[in-house]
Amino acid sequence: MTELLQIVFDALSLGSLYALGALGIALIFGVMRLVNFAHGDFIAFCVFAMLWPSINAAAIVFAGNLPFYLLVPLLLLVGAALSVLSEVIVFRRFRNANPATMMIASFALGFAIRNLLLMLYSSRPKSITLWPSLSLPVEVFGARIPMLQVVTITLTLVVLAALTLFIKRTRYGLEMRAAADNFTMARMLGVRANSVILLAFAISGMMAAAIGLILATNSGTADINMGANVMLIAFIATVIGGLGSLPGAVAAGFLIGAASVVLQATLPHDARVFRDAFVYGAVIVVLLLRPQGLFAPKSAKQRV
Amino acid sequence: MTLLAVDNITVRYGRLTALRGISLTIEAGEVLFVTGPNGAGKSTLLNAIAGVVPPISGSITMDGAEVVGTPPEQVARLGFSLVPEGRNVFGGLSIEENLKVGAGMRTDRSKIAGDRASIYDEFPMLAARRHTPAGMLSGGQQQMLVIGRALMTSPRLMAIDEPSLGLAPKIIDQVYEILMRLRAQRNLTLLIVEQSSARALMTGGRMMLLRGGRIVLEGAAGDMVKDERLKQAYFGFGDH
């Protein structure tokens, strides 16, 4: 029983990470058909923003010393600003380019960000301790669960609820959904293209910052490649969820998280090292059966 | 009063010229039909006015304000509302949300709820299904919805691209009946694009025949009935 509960919490917290990542990608894809491969580097950038530039192994914590009620908003702001700047400086030039061109631009941007970090911080991973108290376990129905997992899951649920409310209930959310459905039509009804896209980038950037915070707290290290793995799985989640579908991206994120954790727990010991191969195998099977994704939005078909 | 003035515009898609020096004006309160065979450039004309396809030369003014080079969301703010071909409802949004998007840019926010109510009065079957995703509606219902959505922008000039496309004759009659009634009630100016001239001849108003990106015939719809050139223009015996 406690073992099962442990697995559930592992699955939920890993799934939370993937769901947040997939959401960040799906939001931008929805409004401008861009798969932003720089998203992983946004995550790393946000983590390094907490450190003072230095090439030593021992990190000089900078913003990371702030109390959490200042650090979290500051980091969300950093993520949003980086993301918005990327749109204004880079992606806006490719607004009418084909999706492949935009995707390559995003690779280039990611490369530029990674190398900037490399220049400022060197390639050595740095240790960073944010909230040591979060790694202490708490007792939930007899199972000992790390506090961080509980916090991660709770925060993700709060973020998802807030985003759902925003998208369903506010005028800006409505405009974002309309633009994701049919961008030109939305513009002809007066929806401002730039505002909607900037908003999507800002929210997506905040998601990246949130992931960065969770990863850094969890692993205790800042590594230039730390966003890459999450980004890859998050991207796969958006594809499985049906590109452009936000609920689909979230559901698929949790699904992949759960699959990874369950496989880790149930595979025979010798096969565990190949866990990811099993996960990706399952992904391939899903895509063979439903190439449009599990939750393809109606608009995906008729998009011009 | 001239509401819209299109002056000598040319539109190209790559090497293909879709419009060759088109000029026209629309007076406030009138109905102008633009008809012509497939590929005549009718939709291109509407898209150029809407700011979706920029002309390479010429000028378009809406109530004196230049439209060429203005983004679509700005043209919409000048009072031009386009109902494009194929209807383009936001399929995942409910009927009510579709109407709300139409009203999003308005500054007279206190009047919006009342306008929505009057559109529900006009289209009762939209009212009954207001929380249904628009993608689930039939073609005729979607056509009503996009007309209602365009009205929610509180337009001065409403353009409709092939309102009869893919609809049953009975539904088409209904759509036109509603359009003409709305026009009378709201003093709307209408620019209607149809492939066939028959509807224009039935409805009346002014008519313009487009072919190969040029205006080949123009006049009061009533006078066109007897005009041999109308038939010739469709079948390609005319000059071009």
B209 in helix, strand or coil?
strand
Residue A296 has pLDDT above 70, yes or no: no
- B111: in domain: no
DSSP A58: B
pLDDT at A303: 37
Give the closest residue to B100 by CA, choosing from A178, A104, A147, A55.
A178
pLDDT of B239: 47
Q: Where is pLDDT greater, at B229 or A268? A: A268
B212 φψ region: left (φ > 0), alpha (ψ -120 to 50), beta (else): left
The residue among A38, A58, A59 whose CA lies nearest residue A50 is: A59
Look at residues B233, B228, B165, B176 and name the one whose alpha carbon lies nearest to residue B199.
Answer: B176
Q: Is there a contact between A184 and B82 if contact means CB atoms under 8 Å apart?
A: no
**Residue B63 counted as domain residue:** yes
Contact between A183 and A31 under an 8 Å Cβ cutoff? The reply is: yes
Mark yes or no for CB contact A190/B149 under 8 Å: no
Structure tokens that stand for A182 in this block? 């049919």
Residue range A190-207, pLDDT digits in tens: 999 999 999 999 999 999
A-chain residue closest to B85, CA distance: A185
What pLDDT shows up at residue A299? 47
- Percent of chain A whose pLDDT exceeds 90: 39
The residue range of the domain holding A219 is 2-302
The rounded distance, in Å, linking the Cα atoms of A127 and A2 is 32
Tally of domains in chain A: 1
Number of H helices, E strands in chain A: 12, 6
- The interaxial angle of helices A2-32 and A226-241, nearest 10 deg, is 80
The reply to whether B123 falls in a domain is no
pLDDT value at B168 more than 70: yes
Task: Choose among B73, B98, B150: nearest Cβ to A193.
Answer: B73
Residue B7 inside a domain? The answer is yes
Compare A83 and B196 and report the one with higher pLDDT: A83
Q: Residues A109-114: what's their mean pLDDT? A: 94
Check which CATH number belongs to the domain holding B81 and give it. 3.40.50.300
Using a CB-CB distance cutoff of 8 angstroms, which residues of chain B are in contact with residue A172? none
Contact present, A7 and A261 (Cβ < 8 Å): yes
For the stretch B106-133, pLDDT in tens is 888 888 989 899 899 888 889 999 999 9
**A31 and A176 in contact (C-beta within 8 Å)?**
yes
Cβ–Cβ < 8 Å for B95, B119: no
Identify the pLDDT of residue B34.
93
Question: Is the predicted pLDDT of residue A304 greater than 60, yes or no?
Answer: no
Reported as a single tens digit per residue, the pLDDT across A47-99 is 888 887 777 766 667 666 777 788 888 999 999 999 999 999 999 998 888 88
Choose the closest CB to A181 out of B52, B92, B102: B92
Residue B20 lies in a domain: yes
Dihedrals phi, psi of A83, to nearest 5 degrees:
-65, -45
Strand order in the sheet with B157-161: B80-83, B157-161, B189-194, B31-35, B206-211, B214-220
Does residue B84 lie in a domain region? Answer: yes
Q: Which element (helix H / strand E) includes A219?
A: helix A193-219
Residue B169, domain extent? 2-88+155-235
For B174-202, b where at least 16 C-beta lie within 10 A, e where not — what string?
A: ebbebbbebbeeeebbbbbbbbebebbbe
Residue of B nearest to A302 (CA): B88
**Residues 6+ positions from A114 with CB-CB distance below 8 Å:** A41, A44, A224, A225
- Checking phi first, is residue B114 left (phi over 0); if not, alpha (psi -120 to 50) or beta? alpha
The DSSP call for residue B81 is E
The pLDDT score that the predictor gives to residue A275 is 84
- Confidence at A297, pLDDT banded by 50, 70, 90: low
Comparing CB atoms, the residue among A174, A189, A298 nearest residue B76 is A189
> Given this model, what pLDDT does residue A302 score?
41
Write the DSSP string, B101-170. Answer: HHHTT-S-GGGHHHHHHHHHHH-HHHHHTTTSBGGGS-HHHHHHHHHHHHHHT--SEEEEE-TTTT--HH
Q: What is the DSSP letter of B94?
A: B
pLDDT tens-digit profile of B56-110? 999 999 988 999 999 999 999 999 999 998 878 999 899 999 999 999 888 888 8
Q: Quick check: A182 and B88 CB within 8 A?
A: yes
The ipTM of this complex is: 0.90
Residue A258, domain CATH: 1.10.3470
Residue B231 lies in a domain: yes
CB contact set of A173 (below 8 Å; sequence gap of 6+): A166, A167
Whether pLDDT at B230 is above 80: no
Q: Is the pLDDT of residue B240 over 70?
A: no
Number of domains present in the structure of chain B: 1
Question: Which pLDDT tens digit goes with each residue over A260-278?
Answer: 888 888 888 888 888 888 8
Average pLDDT over residues B182-187: 85
Predicted confidence (pLDDT) at residue A300 exceeds the cutoff of 90: no
Mode of pairing for the β-strands spanning B2-13 and B16-27: antiparallel
Chain B CB within 8 Å of residue A26 CB: no
Contacting residues of A for B81, CB less than 8 Å apart: 188-189
User: How close B92 gets to chain A, by Cα (Å)?
Assistant: 7
Q: Measured on CA atoms in the order B130, B131, B134, B135, is the torsion positive or negative? A: negative
Contacts B135 to A, Cβ<8 Å? 298
Q: Do B73 and A187 touch (CB under 8 A)?
A: yes
Closest-CA distance of chain B to residue A106, Å? 25
Q: Nearest to residue B197, comparing CAs of B29, B33, B9?
A: B33
Smallest CA–CA distance from A195 into chain B, residue: B73
Residue A92 with chain B: CB contacts under 8 Å: none
Closest approach of A89 to chain B, Cα-based (Å): 20
**CA dist., res. A161 & res. A167, Å (int):** 10
User: Is A199 in the B-facing interface, judged by CB distances under 8 Å?
Assistant: no
Structural tokens at position A293: 């994704």
Half-sphere CA count of B40, side-chain side, radius 13 A: 25
Residue B228 maps to a domain: yes
**Mutant choice from A177, A187, A188 vs B, greatest count of B C-beta within 10 A:** A188
Residues of A in contact with B100 (CB under 8 A): 171, 174
Render A24-35 in DSSP notation, one character per residue.
Answer: HHHHHHHHH---
CB atoms within 10 A of CB B115: 19
Residue B177 has pLDDT above 70, yes or no: yes
Contact of A129 with A220, CB cutoff 8 Å? yes
Between vectors from CA B203 to CA B81 and to CA B180, what angle results, nearest 5°?
A: 45
The answer to whether A193 contacts chain B (CB < 8 Å) is yes
pLDDT, one tens digit per residue, over B153-167 is 999 999 999 988 888
β pairing state of B157-161 and B189-194: parallel
Name the DSSP letter for residue A55.
-
A297 touches chain B (CB under 8 A): yes
Question: pLDDT at position B236, please?
Answer: 60
Within A154-247, strands assigned E span 221-222
In sequence order, what are the residues at sequence separation of 6 or more whose Cβ sits closer than 8 angstroms to the Cβ of residue A115?
none
Q: What is the mean pLDDT of chain A?
A: 86
> Which candidate, B168, B166, B230, places its Cα nearest to that of B198?
B230
Rg (CA), chain B: 18
What's the pLDDT score for residue A64?
A: 66
3-state secondary structure of A82: helix
The number of CA neighbours under 13 Å toward the Cβ of B138 is 7
Best of B43, B73, B93, B97 to mutate (most A CBs within 10 Å, chain A): B73
pLDDT in tens, A124-169: 887 787 777 777 788 777 778 888 888 889 989 998 999 999 999 9
E strands, A210-292, are: 221-222
B128/A181 Cα distance (integer angstroms): 24
